[in-house]
Every structure is written in C-alpha cells, then in structure tokens.
C-alpha cells in the first residue's frame, strides 16, 4: 500500500475515533444518545477492523483499547502528588452553622459563597491526564497513596480516554478526583446473577463497587456497569480557575461526567434548605447518596483556609440522619483490642441496617451501657455511626418484660484472666498484661498489615495458630520462625511455609515510617509515623526523644508525645526493639532518592524478576528518580521484561516502546551483577 493510501486509512481511523468519542459522551455522560445502537456498533466494528489490519495506528486512547486482554499481575502502589484528604462530617443543621461560623471567623469581613453537591456513596479515585490522554488512575487508599487501578478504570465508559480541547488547548497535566459508583439497577442485576451462581451477595452498591475495582481481570470489571461523577481537582498545570463552580463547568467541557445536582448558594440558610430537599429526594435516584458536600466556592479562600492533617477546612460533609432499626439484644460479650482496651459488644438478632446485615453492634464502654441503661434481652435501636460502624443508640424500655438482665463489666480480662484497670479521666477499661493473647494477636495483625510491614500470607487464622501454639510471644518473634515449626501447623504445606518465610524476610527492609507505624504506638497512625520518620533518623533516636522534643513537632501535640514516651519507656518495648534489630529489621531512615539517573523516565514492569520483588523494583526506580506506571502507553520509556511476561510485552512491541532486561536496568543505575 502506498504512503498516500496509508494516510487515507489513518485519516479514517482518526475520524472514526472522534465520532465514537462524541457518541460515547452523548450516551454515557449526557444520557442523550443521537444514534441507534446498531449505528454505533457499525462505527466501532469498522474502527476495530482497521486497527487490526493496520496495528501501527493503534493508540492507547483509542475507544477499542479500553479493555485489556490478559488479567493483571497485581496492583502497584502509587503516591498521590496532592493528598486525597478525607472530609469532616456533620450530622445536624447546627453543626452546618458551626462550620459556617468557623469559616467566617478565618475569613473576617469577606463574602463567602458555597457550592453544595450530592455525596455519592462510592469509591474515591484519582484520574491523571497528560496532554489530554488518560495515563493513570488510582484509588484513594490512605489518602497519601493508593492502588493503581488504571486498567479497571479504563473500562468505565464515562471516563474519557482523551479530553476535549477548550479553545484548542488541553492542560499538560490534569489530575481530577471523582467517585466511582454502581447504579442501583446494575447492583440488583449483579446480585441476581451471583445468587443464581451460588456466589455470596454484595451487601450494598458501595461494597460491590470496591470489590469490582479490586478485580484483576479488566474484562470482568467491564461487565459490572460501573459509572463515575467527578467532583474536584488534584495536581494540575497550565490552567487556572477562581471558583469551584467554574472547575465543575470546565470538567463538563473537556468530557467528564459531573453530577448535575450541584447548587451555588449565597448563604448558609440556603445551603441547609438544599440539604433538606435532598434528604427527602435521595431514594428516588438511581444511585446511592449518603449526604451532601458543602464547599467554599472561592479557590483563593480555600487556599487560605487550608487543611488539618486529616481534612480541608473549606469543606464539610453533611451526613443524612442515620437509619435506625429495632432488634433484640441477646447477649453482651467483651473484646480485647491490641492496646488492651476492653470493648463491650452487643450480640443482636440479625437485622438489615443501612445496606448490611448486622448481628453485632458496639456499646463503646461501660459508661455508655449505664447511660442507656441497656440490659440483655432488651429491644434496642441500632444505627451505623457514619454509616460504617453499627452501634446501639437506644433502648425501648416500654417493651421490657422484667426478664431482662443487667450487665457488669468484668474486673478481669476475659482472655488472660489478669486484673483490668481504669485510669483516672479515661472511660476505657484496660488489660495491662503485655502477654495477653488477645492483645498479642491484634498487635501481630497490625504489625503485618499492608500499611505496616505488609507481610503477605500472614492472616488472622495463621496468627491465631502461632499464638495458641506459643510460637510467638511478640511480633519480633516472627523473624525467628523456622520451617520445621510452621510445617506442623494446619493448612501449611511446604510451598505455603516457603512463601511466608520469604514474605517475612522481605519485610525486614521496609522504610522507617512503616516500622514506626507497625510498632502499634497508641495514637500513631500512618501519617504521624511519617512525620516522626522525617524528624528522627532511627528508632533509637525516637526512643530517646523527650516529651518536650516531641511536643514541639507540628501535628504531634501533648497526647501523642506522651504516648510515644510512655511506649519506649517500657522494658518490654526495649526488649522487642532489640530482637527486631538482631533479626536485621531496618530501624533507620534511608535516603529515598540516591540518584537522578532515571529522572524523567517512565518504566513499566512485566514478568518475574530474579533480583527484585515487584515492590522492590518499584522502590528502586523511584529512588533513582524514575516513575512507575501500571500499563504500557506511548508515554512509557522502558518496559522491564522478566520471566513469563504478560500482555504488556505485546503492547510495548505494538507501540514501539523499548524493552530491557533486568540486567540492562541494573547497568542503567550502575548496579553490578
């Protein structure tokens, strides 16, 4: 075929893509189709035929490239350039007014307007576009890093793979945030199909959405009928806005689906009225909402209001009044957490509350039991705190028969039998026995969790066996486990044991911040652990820090400072730290970036590597200044190919992306052997 003929083919392909993108937008975003399904299918079929015949013209943003071929090998972790912070919640009109007063106090004598949006009950995601092309999508995760679910998000037809230009321009980088959800109709169809196949049903659309995004096969995700509404900006370059409502209008212009029910409000009373309207109308929507989001409209004001470590000060979520359901309290059991706190839990007749079946509900503490005067056998009211944690909120005393029994908190730990204490000024009753099996199991579970040491294969059932068989006395003992000890345990074959020991060994090299979080210091979450790791060079330095040294660190404060000092003052802590050190666990801060030799380069990895786990190769690329992507595109510089490569290798060849071996990568960073 002559060059002229090839140009004609290329031109037809480009025109077909533009037509399909236009009709996708009209159908999936605006819900206003202009052509029949048959006409659309004909366009799509013609494009697919041409791309199969002329693969050199395939691009990642083509409508035919939404769904990949083979299942993914796993999810990589990506860091958000701008943290995806959570939102503070309000549950009453008075609290909305309090929010308004706080905003106006920080912006004295300024006019403040709000934008109110529906709070979609789904999964928050980040979408990154480079020069108008969708290159990466990630879940919110812990707010600072999440899972790279690009391939799964590509299957959502309302997410544009290529943005429309505005005045002939697209931004060089644009990160938008949105909420992926499953429409009620699709949710009902999915559960009907699962019931037919004998599979467990999803409790609610949000759970179904989260489960769908975690599927490794994008072809399965494509069948789930997921949708999205975008609601905010992350990192961006080359564009500017003054108001949030202008951002939403811009999103619509470039091809995103924005929920149409947002409202610009000039006063807080107008905000409250709009929230009331949707509390009445929420059940008539084809998707679930669990409240409203109230945002300061002016972006300069947003900037000046700033944020706490957890949430922006310029927005707040108003949660609709929780659904309350009556049931019978059959018993009260006491659970022991990893810090020794005894928590009373109500065992109730199973009942459907806010989308899930509830058979247990929190009673919080002894004071709450007395306040409610709750008794075993009572008819009680259950609601979900923040739509997540079931709790007992009321007692129907008029239904008492006289057979109900009062409950008394135990004076001994229900697990180890040691005496419990209640410190002055605290509502919590605690077991102070450091060898309590319940505390030990929960502390090991925390230590091995994904945000901590991330020990794959160390689940709850195995932890129970390790503790019950006295193979571990603390989490440091994990690093001293032997093959012959583990092979005797239930459901532990040679392969499982080898995999577990390998995972334990690999965890020795986790960053200092993860180790600090893994220790289980009270009040020290993922973010505070990162703050401490930035300030102190090692666990030893942190252990020697005084209350005064800790208290002056921004974001720490007296409560956390006291908790850290108290933790490291315990002889038991010093003993465990010594064992971790002896086992070779990293207890010092390592410089993240050792060189800029890979700066500006984007890598994708496929197959099994000899010298690196997947996490290790990702960390190495980042330490040398490079960027890791989950899928091959024209923006990929190198594909590192290991043994048994997947479909990424075919894609790289198709796009002309350079492939390198593990050895060639090592040479690039100056690593011998």
Structure token digits, residue 50: 């041409």
**Residue 116 in contact with residue 293, Cβ under 8 Å?**
yes
Look-up of token digits 């995760």: 141
Alpha-carbon span 533 to 414, nearest angstrom: 36
Structure token digits, residue 619: 């960390």
Structure token digits, residue 22: 């236009």
**Residue 176 in contact with residue 234, Cβ under 8 Å?**
yes
Of 510, 654, 532, give the one whose Cα is nearest residue 77.
510
Rounded to 5°, the CA angle 659-665-670 comes to 155
Rounded to 5°, the CA angle 295-296-300 comes to 135
183 burial (CB, 10 Å; 0-12 / 13-18 / 19+) is middle
**Residue 290 in contact with residue 318, Cβ under 8 Å?**
no
Q: Which of 26, 53, 119, 196 is catalytic?
A: 119
Structure token digits, residue 551: 């208290």
Of 145, 167, 149, give the one whose Cα is nearest residue 159.
149
263 is catalytic: no
Can you give the three-state secondary structure of 411-446, one letter per residue?
CECCCCCCEEECCCCCCCEEECCCCCHHHHHHHHHH
Distance of CA 130 to the CA centre of its chain: 23
Q: Please spell the DSSP secondary structure of 551-612, one letter per residue.
A: HTSTTTHHHHHHHHHHHHHSHHHHHHHHHHHHHT---B---S-S--TTTT-EEEEESB-SS-
Q: Kindly give, in sequence order, each residue whose CB lies less than 8 Å from that of residue 11, ignoring residues fewer than 6 positions away.
A: none
Distance of CA 610 to the CA centre of its chain: 30
**Residue 96 in contact with residue 90, Cβ under 8 Å?**
yes
Phi and psi for 273 in degrees, rounded to 5?
-60, -40
Q: How many CB atoms lie within 10 A of CB 338?
A: 18
Q: Please spell the DSSP secondary structure of 383-414, one letter per residue.
A: EEETTTEEEEEEE-GGG--S--B-----SB-T
Alpha-carbon span 622 to 504, nearest angstrom: 23
Alpha-carbon span 60 to 76, nearest angstrom: 20
Of 533, 555, 531, 551, give the one whose Cα is nearest residue 542.
533
Q: Kindly give, in sequence order, each residue whose CB lies less than 8 Å from that of residue 490, ignoring residues fewer than 6 positions away.
A: 465
Alpha-carbon span 226 to 209, nearest angstrom: 7
Of 214, 203, 207, give the one whose Cα is nearest residue 153.
214
Residues forming the active site: 119
């Amino acid at each position: 075929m002559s060059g002229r003929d090839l140009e004609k083919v290329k031109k037809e392909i480009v025109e077909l893509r533009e037509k399909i993108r236009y009709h996708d937008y009209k159908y999936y975003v605006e819900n206003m189709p202009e052509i029949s399904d048959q006409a659309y299918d004909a366009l799509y079929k013609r494009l697919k035929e041409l791309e199969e015949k002329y693969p050199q013209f395939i691009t990642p943003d083509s409508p035919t490239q939404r769904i990949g071929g083979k299942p993914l090998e796993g999810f990589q972790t990506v860091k958000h350039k701008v943290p995806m912070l959570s939102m503070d919640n309000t549950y009453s009109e008075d609290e909305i007014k309090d929010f308004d007063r706080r905003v106006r106090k920080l912006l004295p004598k300024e006019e403040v307007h709000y934008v109110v949006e529906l709070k979609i009950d789904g999964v928050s995601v980040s979408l990154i576009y480079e020069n108008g092309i969708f290159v990466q999508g990630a879940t919110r995760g812990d707010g600072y890093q999440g899972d790279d679910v690009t391939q799964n998000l590509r299957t959502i037809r309302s997410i544009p793979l290529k943005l429309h230009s505005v005045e002939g321009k697209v931004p060089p980088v644009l990160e938008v945030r949105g909420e992926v959800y499953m429409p009620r109709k699709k949710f009902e169809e999915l559960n009907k199909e699962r019931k037919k196949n004998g599979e467990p049903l999803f409790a609610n659309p949000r759970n179904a959405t989260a489960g769908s995004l975690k599927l490794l096969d994008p072809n399965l995700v494509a069948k789930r009928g997921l949708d999205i509404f975008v609601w905010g900006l992350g990192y961006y370059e080359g564009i500017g806005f003054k108001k949030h409502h202008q951002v939403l209008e811009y999103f619509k212009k470039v091809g995103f689906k924005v929920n149409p029910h947002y409202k610009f409000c000039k006063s807080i009373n107008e905000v409250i009225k709009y929230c009331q309207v949707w509390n009445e109308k929420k059940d008539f929507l084809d998707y679930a909402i669990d409240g409203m989001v109230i945002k300061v409209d002016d972006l300069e004001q947003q900037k000046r209001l700033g944020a706490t470590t957890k949430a922006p000060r310029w927005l707040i979520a108003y949660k609709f009044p929780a659904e309350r359901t009556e049931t019978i309290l059959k018993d009260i059991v006491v659970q022991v957490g990893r810090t020794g706190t005894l928590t009373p839990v109500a065992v109730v007749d199973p009942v459907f509350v806010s989308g899930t079946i509830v058979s247990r509900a929190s009673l919080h503490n002894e004071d709450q039991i007395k306040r409610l005067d709750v008794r075993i056998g009572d008819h009680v009211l259950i609601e979900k705190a923040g739509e997540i944690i079931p709790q007992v909120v009321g007692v129907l005393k008029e239904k008492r028969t006289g057979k109900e029994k009062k409950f008394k908190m135990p004076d001994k730990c229900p697990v180890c039998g040691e005496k419990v204490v209640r410190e002055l000024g605290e509502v919590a009753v605690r077991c102070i026995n450091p060898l309590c099996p319940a505390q030990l199991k929960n502390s090991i579970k925390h230590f091995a969790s994904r945000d901590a040491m991330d020990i794959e294969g160390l689940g709850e059932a195995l932890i129970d066996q390790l503790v019950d068989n006295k193979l571990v006395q603390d989490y440091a003992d994990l690093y001293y486990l032997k093959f012959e000890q583990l092979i005797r345990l239930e459901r532990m074959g040679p392969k499982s044991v080898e995999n577990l020991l390998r995972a334990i060994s690999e965890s020795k090299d986790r960053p200092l911040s993860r180790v600090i979080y893994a220790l289980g210091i009270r009040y020290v979450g993922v973010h505070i652990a990162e703050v401490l790791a930035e300030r102190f060079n090692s666990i030893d330095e942190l252990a020697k820090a005084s209350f005064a040294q800790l208290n002056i660190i921004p974001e720490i404060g007296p409560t956390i400072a006291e908790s850290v000092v108290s933790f490291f003052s315990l002889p038991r802590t010093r003993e465990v730290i010594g064992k971790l050190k002896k086992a070779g666990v990293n207890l010092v801060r390592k410089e993240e970036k050792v060189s800029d030799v890979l700066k500006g380069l984007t890598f994708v990895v496929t197959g099994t590597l000899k010298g690196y786990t997947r996490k290790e190769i990702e960390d190495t690329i980042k330490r040398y200044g490079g960027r890791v992507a989950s899928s091959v595109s024209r923006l990929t510089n190198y594909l590192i190919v290991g043994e048994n490569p997947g479909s990424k290798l075919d894609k790289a060849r198709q796009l002309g992306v350079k492939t390198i071996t593990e050895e060639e990568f090592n040479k690039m960073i100056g690593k011998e052997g």
